Amino acid sequence: MIVSQHEHSQITWAQDYNSRVNPSLMTRLLHEAIPVLKWTDWHVKEVQEGSCTTVLPLNHATTNQHGTHQAALLSLSADYTGGLALATLLRGVPFAGVHPCNEDNSAALWLAAMDVRYKCPSTGHVTATCKISDETAEMVRQRYFSGKRVLVTLPVIFRSNNEVVAEAEMKYFAQPSIQLKPTREKPSINPLFKHKLKASARMIAGLRATADESFVRLDQAHEKHAAGPHGELLAKRLQSVLPHLQHTVAARTKHIDQTLTSIPGLRQVVLMGAGLDMRPFRLYESLGRPTFFEVDLPEMLEERTRVISQLTNRPVVQRRMVAADFKCDDLSKILLQHPDFDPRLPTAIIYEGCSMYFSKQENQEILTLLGQTLQNPESRIWSDMVTPDVVDGTTHVEEIAAFVDGMEQLGEKFIFGCNDPSSFMLECGFRKADVITVQDYLESRDPTYSAYRFVVAGK
């Protein structure tokens, strides 16, 4: 859902200032999102509609060998000064990566190009100011709220000791985040959305790669390769903000592995949203050499192919990549028409880390279609689900609330929760479902894990 022009006009500047863009809030959010800003003590000084002033102090962290500001840090300051000025024009719109949000109501904002002209060395604290003309501001609002992409160049002026030390022209790209996603009408993926897909997959690989081996045994060489430095970095950042996430990912990895080994005569494994899951290489031999069907968006499968091609000494595994969009495609038809997929064979479908990002109706459609591909009585589908209070913010567990806030700040807002997964799976055509909370699975006293469930269902 894109914030409309009407909804935008109903929000006063005072309301927007207090809840979304005031200096104290934006300084805190940007310090959390961009650690170098906190390290340098960069901060937002003043925000008005269409303008922003920030301060880059002259201190040990910001200076070069001459005792004046690092030129690159002035450029960094220009980036976020102009970006925040642009953000003030879009009342009520959270910005992905900064504000808690989801793809349906947020804006994607990126720096497309910059030109900084340094006039003289700075010998005092530097204030950066971006003021947007009324004409430019009106153009930005009209384009954004009519659903069009915004590409705008904004001026940023730097002053120190009452003299101009640098001038910058910053070109920004802004667009509703939901428009970055592929649709049936526009199947091609925007590079920014493609980046997010890969980042999420690398992050999960990074969490698996750093799992405690006393808790779950993983082939960490493969996981570390899949994560790469980007995934390891994202995992470390997440662990510092959301310490429960790694144990949760490790627990579901272990539970899925146990589910797979429990299916007699398993011949096929379908990985929905395969991402960079290295499970085929870990379990191929121990599972009796089943065929793995790796289902994901084409762009993610391209990244998966690239990563796997660089693995050294990888075992020969029967794998089939299947391109699909869960929201647009008939998953049953795609699998049943695949020449190597046989619905009569014992099969496991792994629907991992997916349900919470689709609506109830979308989940019903996806799970119902997947169920139609399971014609063997031993076949099973594995899924994970959260409770509704996690989604709607009514949980009274402080750690869960902090977890949800952290995920929203990453733009990974949950939109579906279920109190009774067994009944829900019955509605989707499954015969029975076994459900266990992560808290019970881990035999933990920590209530944080109580709102996350593992579900195994059969036809």
For tokens 């567990």, name the residue: 397
Q: For 316-336, what is the mean pLDDT? A: 94
Helix, strand, coil tally for the chain in percent (to 5): 45, 20, 35
Angle made by CA atoms 451, 214, 454, in degrees to the nearest 5: 25
374 and 296 in a common domain = yes
317 and 168 in a common domain = no
Confidence of residue 1 (pLDDT cuts 50, 70, 90): very low
Using a 10 angstrom Cβ sphere, with 0-12 exposed, 13-18 middle and 19 or more buried, the burial of residue 313 is exposed
Q: Would 82 be classed as within a structural domain? A: yes
Q: Would 202 be classed as within a structural domain? A: no
> Highest mean pLDDT range out of 45-54, 223-232, 247-256, 307-316?
45-54
In total, how many domains does the chain have? Answer: 2
Length of the chain as a residue count: 459
Q: Would 204 be classed as within a structural domain? A: no
Convert the pLDDT of each residue in 209-236 to its tens digit.
766 655 555 555 667 767 777 767 777 7
192 compared with 65, residue with greater pLDDT:
65
Q: Choose the final residue of a domain: 179, 204, 221.
A: 179
164 and 258 in a common domain = no
Q: Would 18 be classed as within a structural domain? A: yes
Convert the pLDDT of each residue in 263-285 to its tens digit.
999 999 999 999 989 899 989 99
411 and 310 in a common domain = yes
Q: Would 381 be classed as within a structural domain? A: yes
Q: For 64-90, what is the mean pLDDT? A: 95
Domain with 167 in it:
5-179
CATH number at residue 369: 3.40.50.150
- For the record, the structure tokens of 291 come out as 């065929």
252 and 371 in a common domain = yes
Q: For 312-337, what is the mean pLDDT? A: 92
Q: For strand 43-48 and strand 432-437, is the pairing parallel, antiparallel, or unpaired?
A: unpaired
State the pLDDT at residue 99: 87
Burial pattern 235-255, b for ≥16 Cβ within 10 A else e, equals bebbbeebebbbbbbbbbbbb
Q: For 333-352, what is the mean pLDDT? A: 97
The answer, as to whether pTM is greater than 0.85, is no
Convert the pLDDT of each residue in 129-185 to its tens digit.
999 999 999 999 999 998 888 999 999 999 999 899 999 999 999 988 877 665 555
Q: Would 335 be classed as within a structural domain? A: yes
Convert the pLDDT of each residue in 178-192 to its tens digit.
776 655 555 555 555
Asked if 47 and 23 count as a contact pair (C-beta separation under 8 A), the reply is: yes
Q: Would 186 be classed as within a structural domain? A: no
Q: Would 217 be classed as within a structural domain? A: no
